[in-house]
Amino acid sequence: MGQIELAGVTKTFAGIKALDGADFEVHSGEVHGLVGANGAGKTTVAHILAGIAPPDEGTVKIDGEPVLIKNVPDAHKFGIGIAYQASQLLNNITAYQYLMLGREEKGRFGVMSRPKTEASALAFLDRLGLSDFPADAAIGSLGAAWRKYLEAARAILIGTRLAIFDETSTGLLPADAERMSNLIRIAAGSASALVISHDIPFILSLCDRVTVMRDGRRVGRFEASAANAEEIIRAIGEAPAVFPERAGEKGVVVLSIPKINLEVNAGETVGAKLSDDDVKSELLKAIVGIDPRSKGDYSIMGFAVRSGPPGGAIRHRIGLSGDERKLRNAALYITIRKKTAYARMEHSNKFGVESVFGGILGGRSDPVKETAATTSSLFEPSEALEGRSPGEMIFRSVDAVIFDEPSRGADESAKAAIYGLMNDLTRRGKGVILLSPDERELEGMCGRRITID
């Protein structure tokens, strides 16, 4: 009997069934993989178990007994913790304060003791093999890998019965992904672990069993030791993404940063593997011109680039399709049409003053048609694009496009669309820079590769 079960669970959001009579179970002491295409219901299963979204119908059982998990405190009471796909961290507190939030140690007179709380956090991190974690650092100063470790550690601390990891390895460098795997195995050593990921090889290397979801239902269950990636992808209902034949003809240089040997020509894709997420972040800020400190020359790793306000990237004909869009393209609540028009920035008057009105009101060209965006309405909030469109900021008017981990968290169909989009851009004479930790992706898409330390 499973330690934790869902039986006949249905959950509807805005009239759409995210789960439709779903059955699922996690056995005690196992690492269980949960896979499926985008929209299959994987995260909804996690959210029901974590108390974020109670089921409309069906039953949640723990050790065979029905339980009611109405909210997150209920889930914590039952020993269920979750590391979220989208970061839930608070930037202005220290790592140890976040880890121990709600579990602070008390000193005299029942008052929280900072030294005892920090000591408990350090002892717990040490048990997880994270003795080098900068626990007294502000969360906002941590790199991407440390932030993911922190969320995973808190999920394990809370998840005395079940720790859920939703895409926690996505975007990590290989060494960091292996360290995350070790954390997950430690979680399963004392409880159970549920791992949600689009990375099927990662799932098979880590998990004991794998459940496949499709259209809100369970459609397959595999012993990981006896399964292969191809049969799981077939059960998901997708064809494995393939890399298209490179179509561009190499032309003139469209972007060059000599000091780091980064140069891209029209019609080619150049892969760049960065050794550190902080290096990548600073590089993107400099190239694209989104650093708020920013006017004039901006020095990174010994080289200088011309930086400026965010519109500078468009003026210099550079486009960015990146991860962490909620941070870098923060205007999620304006409409899709207006967002694309802001990025298009047509020169619409005799003085050459930049104006968004030509794009918004349908000037010389329709900016939405120049993107890879898929949407039912141009007047949807642009947050509706999240997870659906890899190219909402890519237009004919740019000469070079930087893809920052474009397939991060994407299913096989989405990956194929992303690769096709990149290939189409090079066919149209654009220069493409691909930043990715995925060796297979870099090899399959790039004619040249560089490493930036």
Q: Show Cβ contacts of residue 429 under 8 Å, excluding neighbours closer than 6 positions.
A: 248, 249, 251, 266, 267
Which are the contacts of 356, defined by CB distance < 8 A and separation ≥ 6?
Answer: 338, 341, 342, 344, 345, 346
The predicted pLDDT at position 69 comes to: 95
Q: Which amino acid is at 203?
A: I
Which residues lie below 8 Å from residue 409, measured CB to CB, with a gap of 6+?
Answer: 85, 167, 170, 171, 198, 387
**Sheet of strand 209-214: strand arrangement:** 80-83, 162-166, 193-196, 31-35, 209-214, 217-223
The pLDDT value given to residue 370: 44
Rg (C-alpha) for the chain, rounded Å, is 23
Token pair 């009471």 is found at 77
- Residue 155's pLDDT is 96
User: Comparing C-alpha atoms, which of 99, 102, 165 is closest to residue 134?
Assistant: 99
In tens digits, the chain (453 residues) has pLDDT values of 468 999 999 999 988 899 999 999 999 999 999 999 888 999 999 999 999 999 999 999 999 999 999 999 999 999 999 998 777 788 889 999 999 998 888 887 778 889 999 999 999 999 999 999 999 999 989 988 899 999 999 999 999 999 999 988 887 888 899 999 999 999 998 899 999 998 899 999 999 999 999 999 999 999 999 999 989 999 998 877 788 888 777 888 887 766 667 788 889 999 887 666 656 666 666 565 544 444 434 333 344 555 455 444 555 566 667 654 433 333 333 444 444 444 444 444 444 444 433 433 444 444 444 444 444 444 444 444 444 444 444 455 678 888 888 888 788 888 888 898 889 889 888 888 888 888 888 899 998 887 776
pLDDT of residue 416: 87
Give pLDDT, residue 252. Answer: 85
pLDDT at residue number 346: 41
Domains in the chain, CATH or no CATH each: 4-92+138-236 (3.40.50.300), 253-329+393-452 (3.40.50.300)
- pLDDT at res. 15: 86
- Residues 6 or more apart in contact with residue 434 via CB below 8 angstroms: 269, 270, 271, 272, 403, 406, 422, 441, 442, 445, 446
| Residue 105 vs residues 115, 121, 189, 235: alpha-carbon distances, Å | 9, 10, 25, 48
Give the bridge partners for 19, in sequence order.
11
Quick one: DSSP state of residue 71? S
pLDDT score at 279: 63
CA distances from 164 to 153, 176, 187, 258, 274 (A): 11, 18, 9, 44, 29
